[in-house]
A and B are shown apart, each in its own frame.
Chain A
Amino acid sequence: MKRLKLPQWLVLLMPAIIILSAVVLIPLLLSLYSSFTSYRLTRPDSLFNWVGLFNYEKAVTDVKFWAAFGRTVLLLAVALNLEMLFGLGLALMISKVTRGQRALRTMMMFPMMFSPILVGFQFKFIFNDNVGLVNNALQSLGITDTAIPWLVDGNLAMFSIIFAEVWTSTSVFGILILAGLYAIPRDPLEAAKVDGCTPFQSFRFVTLPFLMPFIYIAMAIRSLDVARAYDIVQIMTNGGPARRTELLWTLIGRTGYVDARMGYANAMGYVSIFLAIFFTIYFFKKLTAARKELGMGV
C-alpha cells in the first residue's frame, strides 16, 4: 500500500492549521451556517433546517434590534468622548505632579483591575433607589426627599450605566494619553512659549496634535470594548427597564441563550460585527492620518 505523502510545507503547517480550525475556523463557519438555519438550542435537529436569509431579514426589520444597535452607538459615542475628556484631564494633571507620580499612576489604574461584573454589582448597589449610596447621600443632604429611581427610569438607567462604564475605563485613556505626554519633545513646547503662546494655546496647537495618535489608539481599543459591552449592563439593569438599556450583546445573549434561538442570535451577531469593524477602521484611519500629520510615517 502506498503511503500518502504530503508535501513538507503542509506537514509543517499542520499543527497550526489543526489548532486554528478547532478553535476559530470551525466554530466561525458553524455559527455562520447556523445563522441561515432556524437553529434552536432546545431542538438540536433544527440545525439542519435551512431557512436561507430569513434570520437576517428578520433582524434588519426588527425595531428592537435597531433600537439596541442605536443604543450601543449612543453608549459608544457618549462613553468614549467622556472617557477621552476625563482621561486627558487626568493625564494632564498627573503629568504636572512632581512628587508621588508613580503612586498616582498606579492608583489611576485601580478601576481597571476590577472585574466588570463586580463593577456592575457595585454600581447596582450605589444607584439602588432604596439602600443605594447616591440616594442616601442626596436625601441626607436634603437635596431631594424622594428616592430617585436611578436604575428604573429609562434615561437615568442609561446614565447610570454610562457612569459605571466611564468610571471603569477612563484610566485606559488616562494611561495612554500620559504615555503620549511623556513622549512629547520639550523643544517645540518651549518654541511655542517663545512664539507667544499662552499655556492654553501651547496645549491647543502643540500638545494636542502630538497627543492625537495616542487618543486614537485608545479610541480604537475602547470602541471594540464598548461595542461588545455586556457584563455591566447585564448586572445593573439586565437590559431593562422595558428594554430601555438593551444593548446589542444583551439582546443577542438573551435571544441565543434565554430564548434559545441560536440561529437568529447568530444572524444578529454577524450584523453587529460590522459596527465593531466600522469603528476600528474609522479610528485606525484617523490614527494613520494623525501620525502622518506629525511626520511619523505610516
Chain B
Amino acid sequence: MAQVHLRDVVKKYGVLEVVHSINLDIADGEFVVLVGPSGCGKSTTLRMIAGLEAISGGDVRIGDTVVNDLPPRERNISMVFQNYALYPHMSVRENLGFSLKISKRPQEEIDKAVDEAAEILSLTPLLDRKPGALSGGQRQRVAMGRAIVRHPEVFLFDEPLSNLDAKLRTQMRVEIKKLHQKLKSTIVYVTHDQVEAMTLADRIVIMRDGHIEQVGTPLDVFENPVNTFVGTFIGSPPMNLLDGTVKNGNIQFADGSTITAPPGYDLSDGQAVTFGVRADNIMPVGHALPRGEHIAEVELEVNLTEPLGTETLLFATLAGAEVQAKMLNPRPVQAGERLTFQVMLDRCHLFDAETGVALKV
C-alpha cells in the first residue's frame, strides 16, 4: 500500500508535448479515476506511473521512492489493460501465477495465491482453460486476478471495461468497486466514460489536452465544475450552455429573451457570461422536483422526446439553442407542444463567456 505523487510530470514525444507539467497526490488506499476525452493524456500519465512510458520531466513517486528510472518490475505495481493482455498460450492458472513464478516464489505459495484470487473473482471452475476459451467478461476477470495475486502497492487500470458490452460493464464496475473495498489498495483508474468515473472514484481527475482541469470528489466536480469543459464532460446529459450578457440582474440571451441571474454571483452590467444549467434543473411544471428557493419559469417548445422510463428527456429550444430538460413522472409529450419549465436557479452556473472559467459564487 502506498501513495502516488506526481510532481510537474511532463511527457514529450520529440518536440510534441502531450502531458504538460501535471501535479497530483494520491493517498494510500484511494481510488482515483483519470477521466477525459481521447488524447487528453490520461493513459500516457498512467503508463508513466507504470513505467511503460519514459518520463520526460518531473518526478513520479510511489511510496517514498522516486521511480522515474525504475523498470516496471521494480515499482511494485500491477496493471489491468484494455485488451486484457492475457498470455494466450498459458492457462488461466498459469496466467494468474505467472508473476509469482517469475519472482521465483515457492510453488505452494503460488498455488495458494492463485486459488485465493480465483475464489475472489469466481474463476475457480475456469482455472484450466486457455484465454481463447473464455468470454470477454471472464478474460477481464482473469486480467484483474493477475493483478491482485501479487498484492502490489498500486493497481493501475487502463480503460479495463471499454471492450465489454453495456450490461457486463455495469456488472464489472460493481465488482471492481467491491474489490477495492475488500483489498483497500491504492487504485489509479483511467477511463473516458464519465459514468464509470463518477461511480467508482473517491476522487476524479478530469484531464484535457495534457492538463488537469479539476480534481475532486464525484459530487464536487458534478456540482461545482471549474469551467464549461468539466460542466459538459461530467454528468449525463451534458450541461446546457447558453451565451448571454448581464443586464439589470438578468441574463439576456442573443435572441433578446432573459432569465433571472442565478443568486450569489457578483455581476456587472454588460458582462458577457455563459449560463449553464443541467437537465435535472430545468423541468416542466408538475413534473419537477423543485430545489432551492430561486426558481424561474420559462415557456419552451418541445422538439423531441427520449422516454427513459422513470423520466423523459425533453429537447426544447431556449434562446435559439437546443437545451435538454428532464421530466419526472413522465406523461406522453408530443413534439411541438409548449410547456412551462421551472429553472432551479440555485443550481445554475455562470461561466466567463470568453475563458469558460466558472465565476465563483
Contact = CB atoms under 8 A, between A and B. Distances in A.
A58 interface: no
B146 interface: yes
Interface in B301-337: none
A201 interface: yes
Interface string A108-119: 000000000000
A210 B131 CA distance: 14
Given A196-B99, A197-B73, A187 B79 contact: no
Question: Interface SS of chain A: helix, strand, loop or mixed?
Answer: helix
Contacts of B87: 188, 191-192, 205-206, 209
Contacts of B82: 187
Interface string A159-194: 000000000000000000000000001011011111
A293 B71 CA distance: 29
B85 A190 contact: yes
Given A194-B52, A196-B103, A197-B102, A293 B89 contact: yes
B88 A295 contact: yes
Contacts of A210: 89
Q: How large is the interface on A (under 10, 10 to 19, 20 to 34, 35 or more residues)?
A: 20 to 34
Nearest to A209: B89
B98 A195 contact: yes
A198 interface: yes
Contact of A201 (B72, B77, B83, B102): B102
Contacts of A293: 89
Nearest to A191: B85
B99 A195 contact: yes
B88 A194 contact: no
Given A198-B73, A293-B89, A295-B88, A191 B79 contact: yes
B86 interface: yes
Contacts of A195: 73, 78, 98-99, 102, 146, 150
B115 to A, nearest CB: 19
A187 B81 contact: yes
B141 to A, nearest CB: 15
B351 interface: no
A221 interface: no
Highest count of chain A CB atoms <10 Å: which of B79, B83, B102, B146: B102
Contacts of A198: 73
Interface string B96-114: 0011001100000000000
Given A195-B99, A293-B89, A295-B130, A190 B52 contact: yes
Nearest to B129: A295
A294 interface: yes
Residue in B79, B85, B150 with the greatest tally of chain A CB atoms within 10 Å: B85
B71 A193 contact: yes
Contacts of A194: 50-52, 72-73, 77-79
Contacts of A295: 88-89, 130-133
A185 B51 contact: no
Given A201-B102, A205-B98, A193 B52 contact: yes
A239 B98 CA distance: 52
Interface residues of B, number: 28
Interface in A41-90: none
B208 to A, nearest CB: 26
Contact of A188 (B73, B79, B86): B86
A206 B79 CA distance: 17
A295 B85 CA distance: 14
Nearest to B52: A190
Contacts of B150: 195-196
Nearest to B71: A193
Interface string A267-298: 00000000000000000000000000111100
Most buried by B among A190, A191, A205: A191
Interface in B23-71: 50-52, 71
A188 B51 contact: no
B84 interface: yes
A22 to B, nearest CB: 47
B51 A191 contact: no
A79 B83 CA distance: 40
Contact of B83 (A185, A205, A209): A185
A187 B86 CA distance: 8
A294 B102 contact: no
Contacts of B103: 196
B85 A187 contact: yes
A221 to B, nearest CB: 23
B219 to A, nearest CB: 33
Contacts of A192: 87, 98
B99 A188 contact: no
A196 B84 contact: no
Interface in A183-238: 185, 187-188, 190-198, 201, 205-206, 209-210
Contact of A193 (B51, B89, B133, B146): B51
A201 B150 CA distance: 18
Interface of B: 50-52, 71-73, 77-79, 81-89, 98-99, 102-103, 130-133, 146, 150
Given A210-B89, A295-B133, 19 more contacts: A185-B85, A187-B82, A187-B83, A190-B52, A190-B81, A191-B146, A194-B51, A194-B52, A194-B78, A196-B99, A196-B103, A201-B102, A205-B87, A205-B102, A206-B87, A294-B88, A294-B132, A295-B88, A295-B130
10 contacts: A191-B86, A191-B146, A193-B72, A194-B51, A195-B99, A195-B146, A196-B102, A197-B102, A205-B98, A294-B132
